[in-house]
Amino acid sequence: MLLYQEIRQYLFALIAEHPELKKLPSERELLEKFQSTRITVREALTRLEAEGVIYRQNRKGWFICPPRLKWDPVKKVNFYQLAQEQYFIPLTKLVSFETLATNKELEQAFSLKTSGELHKIYRVRSLDERPIMVEEIYCLASQFDGLKDKALDGSITTIFEHDYRVNITHESSRLIVTVIPDDKAELLNVNSGALCLKIIRKRFNQHDELVDYNIEYWVHSAIEIEVDSK
Amino acid sequence: MLLYQEIRQYLFALIAEHPELKKLPSERELLEKFQSTRITVREALTRLEAEGVIYRQNRKGWFICPPRLKWDPVKKVNFYQLAQEQYFIPLTKLVSFETLATNKELEQAFSLKTSGELHKIYRVRSLDERPIMVEEIYCLASQFDGLKDKALDGSITTIFEHDYRVNITHESSRLIVTVIPDDKAELLNVNSGALCLKIIRKRFNQHDELVDYNIEYWVHSAIEIEVDSK
DNA sequence: CAGTGGTCTAGACCACGAT
DNA sequence: TCGTGGTCTAGACCACTGG
């Protein structure tokens, strides 16, 4: 068998047999154990990382992935509730709030004929202190006056409903597998080049008008999507 | 800027400016151009691969990804129709057909009280001659007697409906990002360790009985998921 | 056959983390 | 300060592809 596959197998078994383990041995310990080099050891590690078995924190080491959050993008379930049902401790942190002019992409999404102003909510969500998702939420400034002063680390849907009488009735999502942009990688405390599931969601009201436009980046090993169709 | 980032940028621009390009320069050409080594060149290439911009074929070289197939796992659309609407030439190839005894996982899925026999359809799907998905479909041998002799490179749903009067009414899917198992990588003509979107689908009839159990592995750069909710 | 990527060695220096 | 991973050099041999 290839050497990097042997190392991979060894680590895979190590993880399976030691459920309490949080962190892997260092790369140098491993290369010594297998009389090999860092290139080969890292081949094994990056493979396990792509599989979603381990993840790294910049210059801190390689860690074992906790269970994935199961999430249904179609059901309208609140993040906190979902996380708690699955025994995670959820946390949302507001990174920034801005009000800015639209760009082409967003004007088109909101069917704006002229340029306008949008609120941008930028936040990070964690499970058990591990950041696992960043999101950018855009909505019309004219429609959500005073949004800045609401509790933006909670459910935006609830704010829309309770404070603005705007209800989301349907939505569409696009999912692709790609790499986290570097500025988001920093916020998520993952390496440049880390894999992610990028989700672009458009949420509409009963008149088929776009209410908000969200771009989410989920750490790929932290999530499992579940979709039901009736 | 980091050298591998420079190489990445160069290739990214090269691809953007030459839409007709199918194949990248070889690793050795690149290392010469950048006065670097293969390790560094490959860092740039694997990054672009993870981003879904390029893909490799074992020992043949690095190729530029065509547009992704947009697919809605919730809508019951036939693969051929979907592909053609998006100007791809679809193809399905039967790899094998077997009838085998159930295992624990499958017995549970089919709510079997005793062990039984299952048909297993194993096939590969391509777009424009590029294999992009392998799937294993399991269904009850007792329910689909003679399935072996049907046109198994077409729509299984249609065979169920027309030949067996079994209608799929709803389904549930689980999606995770992971690595393609080595035996499937070979069929897909991709490298060991290639990324994929793994989809496990259960399809049910009107009585809530499992009709088939599918495991699909999609080449991650070949697909984009679109889901609508009402 | 020459050219490609796949795997591997044996080092190096650096920035950043934990202490 | 020392240990960690991040980046990089300068090679090597191999298996397989394509002409």
**Where residue B198 sits, what CATH number does that domain have?**
3.40.1410.10
What is the CA B24 to chain-centroid distance, rounded? Answer: 23
pLDDT tens readout for residues B155-204: 999 999 999 999 999 999 999 999 999 999 999 999 999 999 999 999 99
pLDDT band at B116 (very low <50, low <70, confident <90, very high): confident
pLDDT value at residue B49: 96
Same domain, A78 and A38: no
- For A218, how many CA atoms within 13 A lie in the half-sphere containing its CB? 23
| Rounded-to-integer distance, Cα B158 and Cα B149, Å | 14
For residue A30, CA distances in Å to A8, A61, A66 come to: 11, 12, 22
Q: Which 17-76 residues of chain B approach strand C with CB closer than 7 Å?
A: 24, 26-29, 38-39, 42, 56, 58-62
Separation between the CA of A40 and the C1’ of C10 (whole angstroms): 12
Same domain, B91 and B188: yes
Same domain, A122 and A187: yes
| Rounded-to-integer distance, Cα A7 and Cα A41, Å | 7
From A145-154, B14-23, B71-80, B99-108, the region with the lowest mean pLDDT: B71-80
Q: Spell B82-105 as b/e; 16+ CB within 10 A means b.
A: bbeeeebebbbeeeebeeeebeee
What is the CA B101 to chain-centroid distance, rounded? Answer: 26
pLDDT value at residue B114: 84
- For A149, how many CA atoms within 13 A lie in the half-sphere containing its CB? 3
Mean pLDDT of A52-72: 94
Mean pLDDT of A84-95: 96
Domain count for chain B: 2
Chain B residues with CB under 8 Å of A170 CB are 228-230
Same domain, A137 and A199: yes
Strands A195-204 and A170-179: antiparallel
* Amino acid (one-letter) located at A156: I
Same domain, A13 and A41: yes
Same domain, A98 and A38: no
Q: Which of A64, A80, A115 corresponds to the end of one domain? A: A64
For an interface test with A, the pick among B39, B174, B225 (most A C-beta atoms closer than 10 Å) comes out as B225
pLDDT tens readout for residues B68-102: 999 988 787 889 999 999 999 999 999 999 999 98
Protein side of the strand D interface (CB < 7 A): A 24, 26-29, 38-39, 42, 56, 58-62, 191-193; B 2-4, 35-40, 43, 58-60
Residue A29's contacts (CB-CB under 8 Å, 6 or more residues apart) are none
Chain A residues with CB under 8 Å of B39 CB are 39
For an interface test with B, the pick among A43, A171, A227, A230 (most B C-beta atoms closer than 10 Å) comes out as A227
Structure tokens, B189: 């003509």
Q: Which domain holds residue A12?
A: 3-64
**Is pLDDT of A24 > 90?**
yes
* Amino acid (one-letter) located at B44: A
Domain-located, residue A132: yes
Separation between the CA of B181 and the C1’ of D15 (whole angstroms): 21
Nearest to A230 among B50, B170, B227 (CB): B170
Same domain, A172 and A209: yes
- Tell how many helices (H) and how many strands (E) occur in chain A: 7, 10
Q: Helices marked H in B143-215 — which ranges?
A: 156-164, 182-188
What is the CA B133 to chain-centroid distance, rounded? Answer: 2
Question: Which bases of strand D have any atom within 7 Å of the beta carbon of a protein residue?
Answer: 3-12, 15-18
Domain-located, residue A230: no
pLDDT band at A73 (very low <50, low <70, confident <90, very high): confident
Domain-located, residue B145: yes
Same domain, A91 and A177: yes
Local structure of A19: helix, strand or coil: coil
Q: Which of A14, A47, A64 corresponds to the end of one domain? A: A64
Same domain, A50 and A77: no
First-to-final CA distance of chain A: 46
Q: Which of B64, B80, B114 corresponds to the end of one domain? A: B64
pLDDT value at residue A185: 94
pLDDT tens readout for residues A93-136: 999 999 999 888 888 889 888 888 999 999 999 999 999 999 99
Q: Helices marked H in chain B — which ranges?
A: 3-17, 27-33, 38-51, 79-85, 104-109, 156-164, 182-188
Same domain, A159 and A116: yes
| Rounded-to-integer distance, Cα B81 and Cα B89, Å | 10
Residue A118's contacts (CB-CB under 8 Å, 6 or more residues apart) are A99, A100, A101, A102, A106, A110, A138, A139, A140, A141
Closest nucleotide to the alpha carbon of B57, via C1': C5
Same domain, B48 and B80: no
Same domain, B19 and B108: no
Structure tokens, B8: 């990445």
Domain-located, residue B143: yes
